[in-house]
A = this chain, B = another copy of it.
């Protein structure tokens, strides 16, 4: 047992049980040792829902490897965490190295699934993949693949009619592994600020 497992379930963004039993073998992700699984792929590495204690474990620092995070104080983090949890449509995953920082644990990866409600396609749900990042020191250990596999299978199990994302051209092949295909539609944006 580690500190993370002992946190009350209310400290997590969503119920971690829904990550259990998601099968990633169809994406070529399997585990040699019988005690390993997508949510515990290596000894000391956990993939789990974001916790309200993850500000202190460097969650924002990992996001900063992806894009501009600006200034996010702990109170800002807690307020946004509670708001997202209440909304119920945000599935933020993190990768924790539970042995890092002298056993205090450190967030070394992240990925988000958002669920949108629709009227079209028989009142469907749609998934969106956002903010997928693995700490540069932890790359090459297939953690990004496991995050994507979990997000994709989770969106399917939550009954999304489709799941989408935007990615750099260099990453298309990576997303192809998980069944994402380029769509002829163009991604357009209007930016109001950084």
Interface residues of A (CB under 8 A from B): 59-60, 63, 66-72, 76-77, 79-80, 83-84, 87-90, 114, 116-124, 128, 130-131, 152, 155-156, 160-169, 172, 175, 178-194
Contacts and interface: CB of A to CB of B under 8 A. Distances in A.
B181 A189 contact: yes
A154 to B, nearest CB: 12
B191 A161 contact: yes
Contacts of A70: 120-124
Contacts of A180: 188-190
A69 B163 contact: no
Given A180-B190, A183-B187, A183-B189, A69 B168 contact: no
Given A80-B119, A184-B168, A163 B190 contact: yes
Contacts of A188: 164-167, 172, 175, 180-183
8 nearest CB pairs, A to B: A70-B122, A180-B188, A166-B185, A164-B189, A187-B187, A162-B191, A179-B190, A180-B190
A155 B123 CA distance: 24
Nearest to A188: B180
Nearest to A77: B119
A164 to B, nearest CB: 4
20 contacts: A60-B119, A67-B121, A69-B120, A70-B120, A70-B123, A76-B122, A84-B117, A87-B117, A90-B117, A121-B193, A161-B193, A162-B190, A162-B192, A163-B192, A166-B183, A168-B185, A175-B188, A179-B190, A183-B187, A187-B187
Contacts of A116: 114, 128, 130
Contacts of A182: 186-188
